[in-house]
Amino acid sequence: MKAEQIKEITKKATDQLVAALQQGHSEALTGYLKAIGRFHRYSLHNVLLIALQKPNASHVAGFRTWNELGRFVKKGEKGILILAPIVRRKTDDSYDDEKDSSRIAGFRAAYVFDVSQTDGQDLPQIGIVHGDPHEHTDGLRKFAAAQNIAIEYLEDIAPARGTSYGGRIALLPSQSPAEEFSTLVHELAHLCGVASYVV
């Protein structure tokens, strides 16, 4: 892909977001910010490209990566264009004192696919908590109250399960008891430093 084509693609994506914002469509920005949260390993340009081509994308990977995970791209699915760096090794006569012996020489078109565009083995569920915390959740709530930390439930923090700020903890409603307990421990640790409540 030529440099001019890359500039045109990224400019078009940026222009579409700016136009949506100028027309008062704040959901475009909200969608973009959610995409940044889901695809934090990607550059901002690539996040914008993903969000504009497939707004509901949740997990993206290349064709080979999906195959390695025991999944395959469904027939007829169209890839999501992103820009992948072209990495070149530095020559020995380079005068740079940098330890890294490679540099980015440019970008090329690459395609990823969302999990919804694939079939196959179920993906491993990382971060899913199971079990019954019993009375330990009540203990955490008492600890929070003793620290003057308010706990509330808010839908609009999704996809986050919890947030903490200024002596308050917001939890995503409808979590399982085990997930809520885990989230509460995590957010209390943010507010209290090292948690002094031991389960």
At 78-127, the pLDDT tens digits run: 999 998 888 888 766 555 555 556 788 888 889 999 999 999 998 877 66
**Averaged pLDDT, 160-185:** 91
Question: Model pTM?
Answer: 0.56
Q: Are residues 171 and 84 in the same domain?
A: no
Q: Are residues 7 and 51 in the same domain?
A: yes
- Domain-located, residue 126: no
Of 10-19, 45-54, 128-137, 162-171, the poorest mean pLDDT is in 10-19
Task: Say what the pLDDT of residue 140 is.
Answer: 92
- Domain-located, residue 143: yes
Q: Are residues 11 and 80 in the same domain?
A: yes
> How far from the centroid of its chain's Cα atoms is residue 151's Cα?
25
- Domain-located, residue 12: yes
Range of the domain at 144: 136-192
* Residue owning tokens 């704040």: 26
Assess whether the previous peptide bond of 159 is cis (omega < 30° from 0).
yes
What is the number of structural domains in the chain?
2
Task: Say what the pLDDT of residue 79 is.
Answer: 95
Looking at residue 62, its amino acid is G
Condensed to tens digits (0 to 9), the pLDDT of residues 63-79 reads: 999 999 999 999 999 99
Q: Are residues 110 and 40 in the same domain?
A: yes
